[in-house]
Amino acid sequence: MRAMNDKILEWAVKIQSIAQAGLTYGHDSYDRERYEQLRHIAAEMVVERADIPVDTVKDLFCNESGYQTPKIDTRAAIFQGGKILLVHENNGTWALPGGWCDVDQSVVSNTLKEVSEETGLTAEAEQLIAVQDWRRHNVQNYVYGILKIFVECRVIGGKFEDNIETTEIRYFGKEELPDKLAVEKTTKEQILMCFQAHEAEHWKVIVD
């Protein structure tokens, strides 16, 4: 997938959003047909700019209904002895524990659920660190908007357990961060932001 500043991808996302809204609220059959055409044109634009099969793009891009809104990704920042917890994923990269927010979960409950699933640890939320637009801060583009929410958490129990998502957990200092980060999920800058929040006496939530 190309970099997040690719204008063709940005336009494709906007066209898809307009088409989906038109299909949701439009009633004229001729207009709906045109909105469907716009939707498929947007999908073809994505295929031209990204290394993704057209059927996959259409499954991701053209099957949603209703007014299009961003998806939510929650990430937990857990500290111990001045170091931050990262999970080692099956593809060999490291990231803050987290993932998509399920429809039946709040931001906090989803963050804690992801911590439990990926690390085996039980945690509680302490403070909100940031709400960020994924397209402004991360390396790759999905064909929809994503809001990333970072929450500082404290471990209250548990231990690492084998699971299908991660192979190990490890605490890293600021100067020890691994080179191989899952940058579509967690960048070095985002991890350092979490350090700043943890070390601050009075943290001001970042909304960006």
Identify whether residues 161 and 81 lie together within a single domain. Answer: yes
Identify whether residues 41 and 97 lie together within a single domain. Answer: no
Identify whether residues 120 and 184 lie together within a single domain. Answer: yes
* CB within 8 Å of 182: residues ≥ 6 apart: 89, 91, 93, 94, 95
Maximum separation of any 2 CA atoms in the chain, in Å:
63
Provide block-wise average pLDDT over 10 residues at a time, the chain (208 residues): 60 82 83 86 79 67 68 96 96 96 94 97 98 84 80 97 92 97 95 98 96
Identify whether residues 24 and 109 lie together within a single domain. Answer: no
Identify whether residues 56 and 80 lie together within a single domain. Answer: no
Per-residue pLDDT at 58: 65
Identify whether residues 38 and 114 lie together within a single domain. Answer: no
Identify whether residues 19 and 88 lie together within a single domain. Answer: no
Answer whether residue 108 is part of any domain: yes
Per-residue pLDDT at 70: 85
Answer whether residue 66 is part of any domain: no
Cα(73)–Cα(87) distance, rounded to whole angstroms?
A: 16
* The token pair that represents 22 in the structure block: 């038109």
Answer whether residue 109 is part of any domain: yes
Answer whether residue 2 is part of any domain: no
Cα(129)–Cα(204) distance, rounded to whole angstroms?
A: 8
Beta bridge mates, 85: 171
What total number of domains does the chain contain?
2
* Residue-number span of the structural domain to which 16 is assigned: 7-61
Q: What's the CATH code of the domain at 107?
A: 3.90.79.10
Identify whether residues 146 and 194 lie together within a single domain. Answer: yes
Identify whether residues 35 and 97 lie together within a single domain. Answer: no
Answer whether residue 1 is part of any domain: no
